[in-house]
Amino acid sequence: MPNPNAPVCGCRWFDEAVKDPHIPVVFNSESNGFYLAHQDGRGCSLFHHCPFCGGRAPAKPRPIIFADVTHEESLRLHSLTRHLKSEEELIQEFGKPDQIFDPSGSFTTAGSDSDPRETFIGSRRLIYKHLSDTVDVNVQINRYGRLKISYCGKRLVPKKQAEGDSSTPTA
């Protein structure tokens, strides 16, 4: 039986497991439960708690809001960007970014008797939305001009719908 005092799973393992074709976890909407399908196809076992964080299984899968970044797509994008070392090379290769965020924040260390306070300025960020149908390419440029490139799944549903509309599609 589920522990009613346990918090709901916060690591999202159930949501990821249901989407992954290699993990035999299914959600049954009639019983509102997550099940581990047996390999021989002759049954299933109900999950009450997450095998990783120990939280209670959610009442249903959370809405899918962002596209998955597939391994193949991340490798493709990495091969396009791995040789880039500067903002100039980036813009020469891909053109003007779709969004630009200039540094807008900073933080200052507390300092001590042996070290002075030190202030760090945030990174400049460029976003390329046109390099992939499913992924936005985010580029952070630190104060030394070094690039840090990451890949983020594109939003699948409008933000307002994701925040409160129960008709958001699920996997």
Task: Give how far the C-alpha of residue 93 lies from the chain's centroid of Cα atoms, to the nearest Å.
Answer: 26
**Pair of tokens at residue 167:** 């008709």
Query: Pick from 68, 64, 80: which is nearest to 128 by CA?
Result: 80
Contact partners, residue 4, CB within 8 Å, separation at least 6: 56
Query: Which residue segments constitute the domains of the chain, with CATH numbers given?
Result: 13-63 (no CATH), 71-110+118-153 (3.30.1450)
**Pair of tokens at residue 160:** 């307002």
Contact partners, residue 158, CB within 8 Å, separation at least 6: none
Q: Is the pLDDT of residue 171 over 60?
A: no
Contact partners, residue 76, CB within 8 Å, separation at least 6: 132
Alpha-carbon separation of residue 112 from 105, 109, 116, 119 (angstroms):
23, 9, 6, 14
Q: Is the pLDDT of residue 5 over 70?
A: yes
Q: What is the pLDDT of residues 50-108, one digit of tens each?
A: 888 988 888 887 777 788 888 999 999 999 999 999 999 999 999 999 999 988 777 88
pTM over 0.75: no
